[in-house]
């Protein structure tokens, strides 16, 4: 094998991590009850590498831009290669010492060099554009070289990872880091009480992207209500409020039993126009009030937000909106809104995945949005929990991640159910969408099992595998469940 040498400095071989500290805590009993896990690091490394299109390796830079297929993204590549290399290094370091020694120090050095190189490239687009071809090609070459060594029949693991089951590994939603107590008796109508006293079902049906053709949205809502859903989430911008309204009417379910959510998607600073839009939405939905109404996005600026929010506060005071919320807001925008709003938002709806838990680039931030929401008694609802395509920042696909499928096999559930249950136990609500009755039913079957705190911990740690580089472990609010702090260049 001839690998490209990326760093000229001599890099020492890293000793085995073997989860020494954590395993010692478990063995001594100081960590309380622990579970044995064997994370599929090697499988995850090869899986993630296979998601980055090889066509991207041959793109050219033209006027500071990648002249290649639209599927090639500089933001997604370094983040995904970090996931590859963190998993690959952990697979190597978790091998039995005598087996790991068969690789020799040269391979260790190359792996450390690549890891550091990709970590440095991820800091900016220009740095990445100038070096990404070398990084991608070198990582793929190393993966191919290590493939025979990491094959399941050949690979000899060292000690398993002992995972404490005393908390889920994140600083929220409780000071102890323990999961929220979510029902396990099958009650899909389980509710959370918002800060203003309004009760909201934790499970809802989202209808974003559900076409109005052939009554797709209509049928999905009818199925959901038949199964027992009582929380429906739509928006002006989805273009299907008429179909949702017809489904609500035809279902025969009393209006007071349904928690109906919609959003103001298109707005300027014209408060009168916002009120007219709201009136139209009520007409389409065939209701006299909505349970939750939110800004679908932050809008242009604070002047625009303030004008519209004041009108929403008036509608709230008139009893036509029971609770106010926002969507696609981070901490800075929420702090600004809280500083002047008379009626505070009690709800935030953002994309929430195991890699980006709550906001854009959340895993790279010092402060957690969920911590902020908990402190201010604001309920999070996560959308696109299983969908990798919506500004995820990664090529990674949660449903097929080997770490997720391993937990799913362990608890006898689908990956989708595991991911939604994980989020519920973090204290958030979920609004999965589907056009298939069997999937709508599957998504509802998240209240008859529970993930252990150790299983939660393993899943919560995936954000750190996606965001960390040597000497820089992220997120700061996630415990180091996989021992990444030991993967340094020192």
Domain architecture of the chain: domains with CATH: 20-166+481-486 (no CATH), 191-467 (3.20.20.100)
Q: Which of 153-162, 260-269, 319-328 has the lowest mean pLDDT?
A: 153-162
pLDDT at res. 7: 35
Q: Which three-class secondary structure state does DSSP give residue 17?
A: coil
Residue 79 or residue 407, greater confidence: 407
ω into residue 65 within 30 of 0, thus cis? no
Mean pLDDT of 80-100: 91
pLDDT value for 268: 83
The percent of residues above 90 in pLDDT, for the chain, comes to 60
pTM (whole model) above 0.85? yes
Within 10 A of 347 (CB to CB), how many other CB atoms are there? 25
pLDDT at residue 177 in the model: 73
**What pLDDT score was predicted for residue 2?**
42
Question: Is residue 401 pLDDT above 90, yes or no?
Answer: yes
Q: Which of 93, 164, 43 is nearest to 458 (CA)?
A: 164
Range picked from 169-183, 293-307, 346-360 for highest mean pLDDT: 293-307
Q: Is 289 a catalytic residue?
A: no
Of 9, 97, 91, the C-alpha closest to 49 is: 91
Mean pLDDT of 145-158: 91
Q: What is the mean pLDDT of residues 205-233?
A: 92
Residue 275 pLDDT > 50: yes
Q: Which has the higher per-residue pLDDT, 225 or 167?
A: 225
Confidence of residue 12 (pLDDT cuts 50, 70, 90): very low
Residue 431's pLDDT band (cuts 50, 70, 90): very high
By percentage, how much of the chain surpasses pLDDT 70?
A: 88
Average pLDDT for the chain: 87
392 pLDDT more than 60: no
Catalytic-role residue among 238, 347, 394, 395: 238
**72: three-class secondary structure by DSSP:** coil
Section 347-359 average pLDDT: 91
Averaged over 44-50, what is the pLDDT?
96
Distance set, CA 45 to CA 15, 82, 87, 126 (Å)? 20, 10, 5, 26
- Answer with the residue of higher pLDDT: 406 or 106: 406
Omega of the bond leading into 475 within 30 degrees of 0 (cis): yes
How far is 116 from 482, CA to CA, in rounded Å? 18
Report the pLDDT value the prediction gives residue 5, as an integer from 0 to 100.
41
């Amino acid at each position: 094998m001839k690998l490209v040498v990326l760093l000229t400095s001599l890099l020492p071989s890293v000793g085995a991590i073997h989860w020494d500290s954590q395993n010692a805590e478990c063995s001594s009993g100081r960590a309380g009850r622990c579970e044995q896990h064997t994370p599929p690091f090697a499988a995850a490394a090869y899986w993630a590498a296979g998601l980055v299109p090889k066509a991207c390796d041959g793109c050219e830079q033209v006027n500071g831009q990648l002249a290649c297929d639209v599927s090639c993204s500089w933001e997604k590549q370094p983040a995904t290669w970090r996931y590859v290399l963190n998993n690959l290094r952990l697979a190597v370091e978790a091998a039995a010492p005598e087996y790991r020694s068969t690789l020799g120090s040269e391979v260790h050095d190359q792996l450390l060099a690549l890891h550091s190189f990709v970590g440095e490239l991820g800091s900016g687009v220009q740095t990445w554009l100038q070096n990404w071809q070398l990084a991608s090609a070198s990582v793929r070459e190393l993966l191919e070289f290590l493939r025979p060594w990491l094959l399941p029949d050949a690979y000899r693991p060292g000690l398993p990872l002992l995972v404490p089951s005393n908390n889920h590994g994140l600083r929220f939603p409780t000071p102890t880091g323990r999961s929220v107590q979510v029902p396990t008796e099958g009650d899909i109508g389980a509710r959370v009480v918002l800060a203003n006293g309004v009760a909201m079902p934790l499970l809802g049906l989202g209808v974003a992207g559900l076409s109005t053709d052939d009554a797709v949205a209509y049928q999905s809502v009818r199925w959901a209500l038949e199964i027992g859903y009582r929380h429906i989430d739509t928006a002006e911008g989805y273009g299907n409020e008429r179909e949702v309204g017809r489904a609500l009417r035809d279902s025969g379910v009393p209006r007071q039993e349904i928690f109906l959510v919609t959003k103001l998607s298109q707005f300027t600073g014209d408060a009168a126009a916002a009120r007219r839009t709201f009136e139209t939405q009520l007409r389409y939905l065939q209701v006299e009030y909505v349970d939750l109404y939110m800004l679908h996005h932050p809008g242009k600026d604070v002047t625009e937000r303030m004008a519209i929010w004041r009108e929403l506060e008036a509608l709230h005071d008139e009893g036509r909106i029971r609770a106010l919320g926002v969507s696609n807001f981070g901490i800075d925008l929420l702090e600004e809104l809280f500083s002047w709003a008379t009626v505070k938002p009690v709800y935030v709806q953002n994309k929430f995945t195991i890699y980006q838990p709550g906001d854009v680039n959340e895993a790279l931030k010092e402060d957690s949005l969920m911590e902020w929401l908990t402190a201010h008694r604001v309920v999070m609802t996560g959308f696109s929990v299983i969908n990798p395509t919506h500004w995820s920042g990664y090529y990674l696909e949660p449903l097929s991640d080997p770490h997720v499928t391993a937990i799913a096999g362990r608890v006898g559930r689908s990956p989708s159910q595991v991911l939604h249950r994980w989020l519920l136990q973090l204290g958030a609500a979920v609004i999965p969408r589907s056009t298939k009755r069997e999937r709508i039913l599957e998504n509802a079957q998240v209240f008859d099992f529970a993930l252990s705190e150790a299983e939660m911990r393993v899943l919560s740690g995936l954000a750190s595998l996606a965001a960390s580089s040597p000497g820089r472990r992220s997120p700061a609010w996630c415990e180091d469940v996989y021992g990444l702090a030991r993967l340094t260049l020192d």
